[in-house]
């Protein structure tokens, strides 16, 4: 009987301290339109005193990863426009170089001990994290769009503190 009671207490303790985070990532353009993080990853990083600077470095890696993906996409578009022999060789090499950069950056992000959880924004820019322990975290995502051929938006993030007495937290990541 004592073992069953102890297991029940441990289970209760786990669920009392686990928090659900729901939120939305968005930016408002100068023209008043709302752009969301739809289809982009959202990262939840635990922040401690010792590794705060390392998390900032990881955020830079994530930003660079998305920039390289955009450059790769733009390279494909340019490659389709310039089909002469010289242009084709230049753009094929540029695309191969970017593929390697993206692969290396993706591996860096995957190996990072600072990324705690990862999810994806839905079509409206909503996201959820489940069973998160109390502590201080940074939530980051990207919101991007193009005006002409100029990239707008970028990486956005927010720091939050999860307390043990909460079961759900709503977060809006914007600037």
Q: Could you read off the pLDDT of 87-139 as tens digits, one per residue?
A: 667 767 777 777 777 677 666 666 665 567 889 999 999 999 998 888 888 89
Contact of 45 with 114, CB cutoff 8 Å: yes
Q: Where are the beta strands (DSSP E) in the chain?
A: 19-28, 34-36, 41-47, 115-120, 126-132, 135-147, 150-162, 168-173
What are the backbone angles phi and psi of residue 26, rounded to the nearest 5°?
Answer: -160, 160
Residue 90 in tokens: 């230049």
CA distances to 72, 144, 174 from 140, in Å? 22, 13, 10
**3-state DSSP call for residue 64?**
helix
User: pLDDT tens digits for 25-35?
Assistant: 999 998 899 99
Q: What is the model's pLDDT at position 4?
A: 43
Give the Cα separation of 98 and 83 in Å (integer): 19
Tens of pLDDT, residues 146-169 = 888 888 888 898 999 988 777 899
pLDDT tens column, 63-92: 666 666 666 666 666 666 665 556 667 767
Q: In terms of pTM, does the model score above 0.85?
A: no
- Domains of the chain, earliest start first: 19-173 (2.60.40.10)
Question: Looking at residue 147, what is its pLDDT?
Answer: 87
CB contact at 8 A, 169 and 21: yes
């Amino acid at each position: 009987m004592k073992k069953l009671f102890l297991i029940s207490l441990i289970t209760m303790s786990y669920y009392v301290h686990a928090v659900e985070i729901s939120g939305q990532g968005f930016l408002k353009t100068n023209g008043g339109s709302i752009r969301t993080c739809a289809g982009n990853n959202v990262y939840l990083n635990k922040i401690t005193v010792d590794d705060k600077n390392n998390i900032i470095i990881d955020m830079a890696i994530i930003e660079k990863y998305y920039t390289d993906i955009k450059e790769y996409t733009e390279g494909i578009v340019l490659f389709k426009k310039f089909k002469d022999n010289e242009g084709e060789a230049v753009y094929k090499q540029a695309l191969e170089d970017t593929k390697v950069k993206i692969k290396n950056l993706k591996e860096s992000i995957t190996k990072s001990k600072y990324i705690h959880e990862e999810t994806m924004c839905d079509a409206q820019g909503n996201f959820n994290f489940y069973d998160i322990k109390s502590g201080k975290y940074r939530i980051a995502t990207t919101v991007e769009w193009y005006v002409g051929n100029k990239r707008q938006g970028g990486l956005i993030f927010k720091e939050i503190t999860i307390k043990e007495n909460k079961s759900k937290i709503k977060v809006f990541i914007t600037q």
